[in-house]
Chains A and B, each alone.
Chain A
Amino acid sequence: MVDMKKFKQNAPAIPILVWFGILVGIPLIFVVILSFLSRDELGNIVVRFTLDNYKRIFDPIYIKVFINSLFLATLTSFITMIIGYPVAYFTANLEKKKKALAILLIMLPFWISSLLRTYGWIILLGNTGLVNNLLIGFNIIDKPLSMMYKFSTILTGTAYMLIPFMIIAIYNSVDKLDRSLLEASYDLGAGKWKTFFKITLPLTIPGIAGGFTLVFIPSLGLFFISDLLGGGKNIFLGNLINSLITKGRNKPLAAAFSVGMIIMVLIVLFIYSRLVKRNTGGADENSII
Chain B
Amino acid sequence: MNMISKKIKVVLGLALMMVLVFALVGCGKNEGSKEINLMSWGGDFIPREVIDQFTEETGIKVNYKEVTSNEDTQSLLEANPDQYDLAVVTDYMVEILRLNGMLEVLDKDKLSNFSNINPVYQGNYYDANNEYAMPYAVSTAFLLVNPEGVEALGANPITSYADLWQEELKDNIVVIDWSVEIMGLVLKSLGYNYNETDPVKVAEAKEKLFQLSDNIMRFETNTPEDSLVNGEAVVGFMYSNQAVNGNAQDDKLVPVFPTEGMPIYIDAFVMSKDAPNKDNAYKFLNFLLQPEIAAQIADITDFITPNKAAEEYLTEDFKNNPMLNVSDDVMANTSFYIDVAAVLEEYEHIYSEFKMQ
Residues of A within 8 A of B (CB): 12-13, 15-16, 19, 41-44, 59, 61-62, 64-65, 68, 126-128, 144, 146, 148-149, 227, 231-235, 240, 243-250
- Is A42 a contact of B15 with CB atoms below 8 Å? no
Chain B residues contacting A235 (CB-CB under 8 Å) are: 352, 355-356
Chain A residues contacting B345 (CB-CB under 8 Å) are: 248, 250
Chain B residues contacting A127 (CB-CB under 8 Å) are: 230-232
Chain B residues contacting A234 (CB-CB under 8 Å) are: 355
Chain B residues contacting A12 (CB-CB under 8 Å) are: 4-5, 8
Chain B residues contacting A62 (CB-CB under 8 Å) are: 352
Residues of B within 8 A of A (CB): 4-5, 8, 11-12, 15, 69, 71-72, 96, 99-100, 171, 177-180, 216-220, 230-232, 341-342, 344-345, 348-349, 352-353, 355-356
Q: Shortest CB–CB separation between residue A265 and chain B, in angstroms?
A: 21
- Is B96 a contact of A43 with CB atoms below 8 Å? yes
- Is B15 a contact of A233 with CB atoms below 8 Å? no
Chain A residues contacting B12 (CB-CB under 8 Å) are: 15
- Is A246 a contact of B100 with CB atoms below 8 Å? no
Instruction: From known contacts A15-B12, A126-B232, A148-B232, infer whether A232 and B218 are also in contact, taking CB-CB under 8 Å.
Output: yes
- Is A144 a contact of B231 with CB atoms below 8 Å? yes
Residue of A nearest to B99 (CB): A42
- Is B218 a contact of A126 with CB atoms below 8 Å? no
> Which 7 residue pairs are nearest across A and B when measured between Cβ atoms?
A232-B219, A231-B218, A41-B341, A128-B230, A246-B71, A12-B8, A232-B177
- Is A249 a contact of B218 with CB atoms below 8 Å? no
Chain B residues contacting A245 (CB-CB under 8 Å) are: 71
Residue of B nearest to A253 (CB): B345
Chain A residues contacting B180 (CB-CB under 8 Å) are: 247
- Is B71 a contact of A240 with CB atoms below 8 Å? no
Residue of B nearest to A249 (CB): B344
Q: How many A-B residue pairs have CB under 8 A?
A: 83
Q: Shortest CB–CB separation between residue B226 and chain A, in angstroms?
A: 8
- Is B352 a contact of A149 with CB atoms below 8 Å? no
Q: Which of A15, A144, A231, A247 has a CB less than 8 Å from the CB of B15? A: A15
Q: Shortest CB–CB separation between residue A135 and chain B, in angstroms?
A: 15
Chain B residues contacting A61 (CB-CB under 8 Å) are: 349, 352-353, 356
- Is B352 a contact of A65 with CB atoms below 8 Å? yes
Q: Shortest CB–CB separation between residue A115 and chain B, in angstroms?
A: 12
Instruction: From known contacts A41-B342, A232-B177, A235-B356, infer whether A128 and B71 are also in contact, taking CB-CB under 8 Å.
Output: no
Residue of A nearest to B95 (CB): A42
Chain B residues contacting A16 (CB-CB under 8 Å) are: 8, 11
User: Could you write out 15 A-B pairs with CB less than 8 Å apart?
Assistant: A16-B11, A41-B341, A42-B99, A127-B231, A227-B177, A231-B218, A231-B219, A233-B216, A240-B352, A244-B348, A246-B69, A246-B72, A247-B180, A250-B345, A250-B348
Q: Shortest CB–CB separation between residue A140 and chain B, in angstroms?
A: 18
Residue of B nearest to A235 (CB): B355
Chain B residues contacting A68 (CB-CB under 8 Å) are: 356
A244 to B232, CA, bound (A): 29
Residue of A nearest to B5 (CB): A12
- Is B349 a contact of A149 with CB atoms below 8 Å? no
Chain A residues contacting B96 (CB-CB under 8 Å) are: 42-43
A5 to B352, CA, bound (A): 58
A247 to B177, CA, bound (A): 10
Q: Which of B15, B171, B220 has a CB less than 8 Å from the CB of A232? A: B220
